[in-house]
């Protein structure tokens, strides 16, 4: 299993959150992170600039075709940026968590350190996603 990060950009936080939730719910991504950015780019022979939201999705290389297709179908842009890069030197337990939480009929696996003393699950901590 090779962990990858898939990146796309969206024009609003609402669109980024909607796409993030959909892809995680479909188990195409184990987690999603949204960050506010400012983009400068050429579009239709003019230089454009505007705020956007970067959506970074943690998944596996094997799922790239499926996540690319889903983003292409769900994305509001005429030509969405969709690209990926390999995650190198990934903490083994975290890499296993990614793999166990994407594209599977199994229920999601939550690492034992993500459970509180009463046994309730909290999911990955803010710092681990």
pLDDT above 70 (res 127)? no
pLDDT > 90: percent of the chain:
78
Please give the CATH topology (third level) of the domain spanning 3-114.
Answer: Alpha-Beta Plaits (3.30.70)
The torsion angle over the Cα atoms of residues 66, 107, 4 and 63, rounded to 10 degrees, is -20
Give pLDDT tens digits for 46-55. Answer: 999 999 999 9
Judge whether residue 91 has pLDDT over 70.
Answer: yes
Q: Scanning the structure block, which residue is given the tokens 């993030």? A: 20
Looking at the whole model, is its pTM more than 0.85?
A: no
- 124 pLDDT above the threshold of 60: no
Residue at token pair 């970074």: 56
Domain residue ranges of the chain, discontinuous segments joined by +: 3-114
Q: Which token pair is 32?
A: 């999603």
């Amino acid at each position: 299993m090779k962990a990858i990060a898939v990146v796309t950009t969206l024009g609003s936080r609402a669109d980024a959150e909607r796409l993030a939730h959909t892809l995680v719910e479909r188990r195409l991504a184990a987690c999603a992170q949204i960050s506010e950015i400012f983009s400068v780019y050429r579009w239709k022979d003019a230089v454009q600039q505007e705020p956007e939201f970067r959506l970074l999705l943690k998944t596996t290389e094997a799922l790239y075709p499926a996540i690319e297709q889903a983003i292409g179908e769900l994305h509001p842009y005429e030509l969405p940026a969709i690209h990926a890069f390999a995650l190198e030197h990934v903490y083994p337990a975290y890499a296993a968590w990614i793999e166990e939480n994407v594209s599977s009929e199994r229920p999601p696996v939550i690492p034992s350190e993500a459970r509180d003393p009463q046994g309730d699950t909290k999911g990955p901590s803010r710092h681990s996603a």
